[in-house]
Amino acid sequence: MIRVAFASSDRRRVDQHFGAAESFAVYEVTSDQSTLLGVGDFTREAMDGNEDKLAAKLAFLESCDAVYVLAIGASAIRQLIARGIQPLRINEYSEVDELLDDIVLALNQGGVAWIERALAARARSHSEQRFARMEDEGWQGGEE
């Protein structure tokens, strides 16, 4: 399972620049389906290099593995990557449903680098959380 966001004004097409995006639709994608988890709406922002405008968007996308955008600046790319979120720039107005179908296919067939990294990161995080819970419960490794 991975989570993917789309910068979209109509929830049908990727049609917005990351920094000026008025909304992001977030989907959970598994090997057999995609489910809309939610939509984040933001006030219209000018693309003037104001870094403060990114904070709310970055916070909203925190649980995502990737975000599809029409365009994105270098600073936003750096901030997304630092949070483990893969920015994916689309050269034309791509349909969200088609992109979701491509992701489902890639989850089944493998071979897409960012998806493989996202799955590996989620697996590591799950293992770390499991061991932390065991430690919290007082689990001690056996010594013989």
User: Which residue is it, tokens 């489910």?
Assistant: 35
Kind of pairing between the strands at 13-14 and 94-95: antiparallel
2-136: CATH class = alpha beta
- Distance of alpha carbon 29 from alpha carbon 103, whole angstroms: 7
Region of 61 on the Ramachandran plot (φ > 0 left; ψ -120 to 50 alpha; else beta): alpha
Domain boundaries of the chain, sorted by first residue: 2-136
Nearest Cα to Cα of residue 107 among 28, 45, 43: 28
C-beta neighbour count of 79 within 10 angstroms? 18
Q: What is the pLDDT along the chain (144 residues), one digit of tens a residue?
A: 999 999 999 999 999 999 999 999 999 999 999 999 999 999 875 445 555 679 999 999 999 999 999 999 999 999 999 999 999 999 888 999 999 999 999 999 998 999 999 999 888 876 655 555 566 667 665 554
Residue type present at position 58: L
Rounded to a whole number, what is the distance in angstroms from the first to the last CA of the chain? 39
Kind of pairing between the strands at 34-41 and 23-29: antiparallel
Q: Say what the pTM is.
A: 0.82
